[in-house]
Structure 1
Amino acid sequence: MNNPRIKVFDSLRVLAILMVFMHHFYSSSNYPELGHLTYFGYLGVPLFFMISGFVINLTLERTDNFKTYLKNRFIRLSPAMIICSTLTFVFFAFFYTGEGYEHSKNIWNYLIANTFIDPHVFDLYSGEIKYYYLDNAYWSLWVEVCFYVIIGALYFMNKRKYLLYFIIICIIMMPLQMIFYSHSARSFLLNYFSESQLDYYRLIARCLALFSECIWFIIGMFLLRLYQTRNKKFLYIIIFSLGLCVLKERSVEVLSFVFILLLFIIIFVYKPEKLKFLEQPFLLKIGAASYCMYLIHYHLGVVLVKYLNENFKLGYFSPVIVIIFVIVFGLVCYEFFERKLIKLYKRILK
């Protein structure tokens, strides 16, 4: 298929990345009076997952085989990771003199980050936690990669039933992941497993983080079907899935977020002309570069917020300055470095 790019999703990425920025930069540790308000900016990450479910499903329909699909995913992910993880590692290993961030100085964590594999997968061999994320924001990349591989394999095995198979896998794995990762279930499980066994199973459950977030990907995939067919049964499935997300989190903020998201979905599918105002060139550029911004923003950004607060007493304006800086960095990085590196990857791998 040769469908045109759906521009509104680039603008939706802008909203998602701004939510994540607010969550991390106005955290309760820096701004206790605002932390409870900005905490739910973490929902920007599930929003990214929903977008991935939609876009990756569309990508699969345009791809001839599994090998090409995986190659294209690697070409899309790796260049920005090399750039941003290298900057993060070099800054903390050679320039940062403050407290903390020891994991960002570790060469092994840097190398693992560029595999996109959760560091805890490597911990499974020793049974204890030895490796960590170079930047804690990287946890979502492992979730994304697991989704890419599983849904891609299922699609090229059976293009008609792959989504059903994915849902069945999620129905089986989601409760297992939740039970073994949950502290509240530990006392019950101790009747059947030893402490050391539960520690190990919990480590495995950490590596299966996809299944704690899989509903968002499913929503994105059904959104594509709704968009393509306008069949209301897909809308009902989306509403049911969003309801499960509310039941899982059980908070007013999540309920509000889900309501707004559902409103967006209805307008996007049935009244898309109402969203044309989101297709501003500048927003589209930020959305296209949001991946690079996400990779660089967290540890470096939080350090910069703290530096501005301690040395210039900028208060609430410190995160605003850092957000602007990260956006400018992302735009420059994407335009002059990431895109050129992507072209190099294509020449080498294709």
Structure 2
Amino acid sequence: MIGPNHRSNSFDLIRHGAALAVLVAHHYALSRFPTPQFWGIFSYGAFAVLVFFAISGYLVTKSYWNSTSFWTYFEKRLRRLFPALIVCSALMVIFLYGFMGQQSPALKFIFSERAYNAFMAHVWLDGSRDINKFSADFKYPNAANGSLWTLRYEFFSYIIIPCTLILFRKSYKGLIALLALCILLQTYSAITNEKIVSIWRQTLLMTPFLVGALMFFTEEHWNNTKTKLILFLACLTMIAITPRNPAYQMVFYVCLSIITILIGISFKENLIAGKFDISYGIYIYAFPVQQIIINKTTLSFYPSMAAAAAITLLLATASWYWVEKPFLKRHHSSSNIKTHDTSDTQQTALASSDPTLRNQ
């Protein structure tokens, strides 16, 4: 049940592709152009986020299973998510809201209570609001970093998965019940058009996350060529034949999540494969960079997309090498010290949890 090492799959490559797909989708939206869609229903961005959450569910569950305790697991989650986010939030407050804001002078704003509150709001996973009128006159106004809204739901998933496993004594029956509840609530919302936004978003995004988690737990039953092929074809068939009714969205989300894990497990790539992981950096920096490029330059659509992608890749690379990777290495070193006298089983589990994984 431990699952494959990250070097024997293609999850790293898929995550980077998904991060760039979000950038492409947002560039259309931020430019006020119609966003390309799959089958006329799902945008590239929504498609990519589903892929992110499915992979995250698989890898995070693996991380918890390989951790010596909940707190060891949770420390890894904090180190992976927050250092880069804190730096990104600080840069947003200083440069976007401070020097590019329209109300208060830069230095006055940067040292104000408003700046502190904005910084703390972003760190606590609320990144969509516009502060100091940074984007008030943009084509897509009053949105500074719209990508960050998904992080709070991912973070909650980081907590609910191990809590469910603890409650059910590491049995995946609890995850099945939770997935059924998410599907039920989503289907009810689709039929009645009634929803509480926060609950609707959480159950929506937790669906692929839980599918990924269940794929990890059941891997010994499906990780062979014949079963993977059958599952793959069955999922494609379900997507193709299900009527476009309120139930279709859940069918698509579940099947896409299964397909994502099947592809990730079935193919090995050596291009990225644990060498680096700038997908998180792409995700948290792309939106504000695109807002600036689209609204503060005279570049046309495709040149502006290329420029935004280039700058985002530079920022994401800097974030990985100067912020994210050092924190992960620090955790890896401290884990080795703390577990020097642990059992052989625990040492094997720690060794299999590579610090370069985005969702370690």
Asked if these proteins are the same fold (TM beyond 0.5), I'd say yes
Give me the whole-angstrom Cα distance separating, in 2, the residues matched to 1:241 and 1:216: 18
Give me the whole-angstrom Cα distance separating, in 1, the residues matched to 2:94 and 2:328: 22
Q: 3-state DSSP class of the match of 1:35?
A: coil
How many residues in Structure 1 have an aligned counterpart in Structure 2?
302
Give me the whole-angstrom Cα distance separating, in 2, the residues matched to 1:150 and 1:261: 19
Give me the whole-angstrom Cα distance separating, in 1, the residues matched to 2:31 and 2:143: 22
Taking structure 1 as the reference length, the TM-score comes to 0.70
Q: 3-state DSSP class of the match of 1:47?
A: helix
Paired position in structure 2 for 1:142: 152
1:279 partner letter: N
**8 Å contact kept, 1:19–1:42:** no
Aligned partner (choices 55, 68, 73) of residue 59 of structure 2: 55
Distance 1:176 1:237, change over 3 A: farther
Paired position in structure 2 for 1:112: 121
CA-to-partner distance for each residue in 1:12-32, whole Å, 9 max, x for gaps? Answer: 1011101101111122x5263
**8 Å contact kept, 2:215–2:258:** no
Moved more, 214-223 or 35-44: 35-44
Distance 1:175 1:339, change over 3 A: same
CA-to-partner distance for each residue in 1:279-321, whole Å, 9 max, x for gaps? Answer: 214x7556x121122111112322223323x2xx343111111
Distance 1:30 1:341, change over 3 A: same
Distance 1:159 1:59, change over 3 A: farther
Structure 1 unmatched ranges of 5 or more: 121-131, 187-200
Distance 1:119 1:138, change over 3 A: closer
Aligned pairs for 1:219-230 (under 5 A) are 219-225=211-217, 227-230=219-222
Paired position in structure 2 for 1:328: 314
1:325 partner letter: I
**8 Å contact kept, 2:67–2:73:** yes
Paired position in structure 1 for 2:23: 21
Paired position in structure 2 for 1:190: none
1:16 partner letter: A
Alpha-carbon offset, residue 84 of structure 1: 1.0
Paired position in structure 2 for 1:168: 177
Moved more, 40-49 or 105-114: 105-114
Give me the whole-angstrom Cα distance separating, in 2, the residues matched to 1:237 and 1:154: 31
Distance 1:264 1:66, change over 3 A: closer
Distance 1:341 1:58, change over 3 A: closer
Q: 3-state DSSP class of the match of 2:313?
A: helix
Alpha-carbon offset, residue 78 of structure 1: 1.1
Paired position in structure 1 for 2:201: 209
Give me the whole-angstrom Cα distance separating, in 1, the residues matched to 2:281 and 2:47: 19
Give me the whole-angstrom Cα distance separating, in 2, the residues matched to 1:164 and 1:318: 48
Paired position in structure 2 for 1:74: 78
Alpha-carbon offset, residue 49 of structure 1: 0.2
Paired position in structure 1 for 2:270: 279
CA-to-partner distance for each residue in 1:169-201, whole Å, 9 max, x for gaps? Answer: 343355447767x79645xxxxxxxxxxxxxx8
Structure with the largest fraction of helix: 1
Aligned pairs for 1:1-350 (under 5 A) are 4-6=5-7, 7-27=9-29, 30=31, 32=33, 35-37=35-37, 39-97=43-101, 107-116=116-125, 135-161=145-171, 163-172=172-181, 175-176=184-185, 185=193, 202=196, 205-206=197-198, 209-225=201-217, 227-230=219-222, 232=227, 235=231, 239=235, 243=239, 265-266=261-262, 268-269=264-265, 272=266, 275-276=267-268, 278-281=269-272, 285=275, 288-308=277-297, 310=298, 313-343=299-329
CA-to-partner distance for each residue in 1:324-345, whole Å, 9 max, x for gaps? Answer: 2111211122112322344567
Q: Of the two structures, which has the highest relative contact order with CA contacts closer than 8 Å and spacing of 6 or more?
A: 2
Alpha-carbon offset, residue 36 of structure 1: 3.8
Distance 1:212 1:137, change over 3 A: same
Alpha-carbon offset, residue 141 of structure 1: 0.8
Structure 2 unmatched ranges of 5 or more: 104-109, 130-141, 339-360
Alpha-carbon offset, residue 113 of structure 1: 2.5
Give me the whole-angstrom Cα distance separating, in 2, the residues matched to 1:133 and 1:98: 14
Q: 3-state DSSP class of the match of 1:337?
A: helix
1:239 partner letter: C
Alpha-carbon offset, residue 262 of structure 1: 6.1
Give me the whole-angstrom Cα distance separating, in 2, the residues matched to 1:219 and 1:21: 25
Give me the whole-angstrom Cα distance separating, in 1, the residues matched to 2:177 and 2:128: 27
Distance 1:245 1:97, change over 3 A: farther
CA RMSD after TM alignment: 4.3
2:167 partner letter: M
Q: 3-state DSSP class of the match of 1:26?
A: helix
What percentage of aligned pairs have identical amino acids? 19
**8 Å contact kept, 2:182–2:206:** no
Alpha-carbon offset, residue 239 of structure 1: 3.3
